Structure 1
Amino acid sequence: MPIVTVIVPWRESPSRVPAFEALQRWYAEYLPEFDLRTVDATDGIFNLAACRNVGVAALSSDEVVVINDADTLPEPAALREAVAAAATSGLVHLPYTEYRWLGESGTAQVMAGREVSECTVEQVVETACSGVYVTTRRTWDAHGGQDERFRGWGFEDAAWYLAHETLLGAAPVRHAGRVYALSHVAEIRAGTHYDANASLMERYRDAAGDPTAMDQLVSEWAERKVA
């Protein structure tokens, strides 16, 4: 497999450094043909959606890219399968059917060298739609990417999923496998920005299933480049 670019939204904070270092070690050991690049797209409040969009925009239209959160370890086989499929499908791929949050105890076990699949799991989410995405810039542009009006933390991934379903006519493609989310100090999900994110999410829910309404919503902030 040729070298694959991995975009990692990243702004250093003390509690997140161990997880990010574990991610770097994971790729070096299990996925050495993948090239990690960090992206921080804004000077103000950290914006996950903007990081993902900026990272994808720097690539050629048909280059396959992995968008990987700085705290989430993907399984190699599922990720390689998703990369191969995303090149031609016209859809975003999720290299997992099970999202495992390890919590403090499971994360400590990973850091101590235990095989990640054998570590303590605090929560399993089978409907998760964040953590790791596989796409091309052409596919990302076709449904507008992720809405950069979601500032701080919360909702950008769920809104993106609805836009993908509505504008591309299908849900992102899942591949059998797991991702493992490592623990760190939780971000505050409250306050003015969080409330604004929640209100914007309601607009995405209202537009879900209606391509015209969704196109209008996405077009408020981004130009869709339909393939």
Structure 2
Amino acid sequence: MGHLRLLGHQINEKRVRRLVRLMGQEPVYPKPRLSVPGQGVTRYPYLLRERALSAPNEVWSTNITYIPMAKGILYLVAVLDWHSRYVLSWELSNTLDVGFCLSALDAALALQPAPYIFNSDQGSQFTSQLFEQALLAAGCQISRDRRGQATDNAFIERLWRSVKWECVYLNPATDGGQLYEQLRAYFGYYNHQLPYQGLKGKTPAQIFAQTPTFSPQPICLTNPS
């Protein structure tokens, strides 16, 4: 407002808010937290601290973010392989119920064997009995981010940054159909064409396909005699 006043415009905060609202503009800032846990949930530890990743399907993680459109928002969930940064599946929804998260999980499990560890934040979708039972039935060890530790799921947070700054913010979609097509094209580019510095210049798809999948080592019991 100070800049406008220096240019000679008679302006105040109330008028700015009214004009911005009339234009349908919305500032880009984080929405309210999406990782609020449900009531009476089973507590699981964070299993990835200082863990050295060795292969695809060792660790998958998931998260939800909001995607702004020209008018309104939709919610995006993805399942990411940590070792390769490969996006296994993703889904859009206009609500935050657990259904679209389960759909993304089912799509990932249809593509690859279940991971050794599956990590998420403590959002009510991922701490729900439906999601927990799906992971246990698949044979996963469940890991959850520690509260207040934003870096626990750093790889997928970095993915959201790339999706928004390289795709969404450049050309805001007018509706869900257009957004779906934009994301489908972007994730194809991200997986198969985008060299990743952390992968020594290779794409997520190259690392995912070329590295042998993770196989837990059997525990050897020695005979005390």
TM-score (norm 1): 0.25
Question: Greater relative contact order: 1 or 2 (C-alpha under 8 angstroms, separation 6 or more)?
Answer: 1
Question: Which structure carries more helix by proportion?
Answer: 1
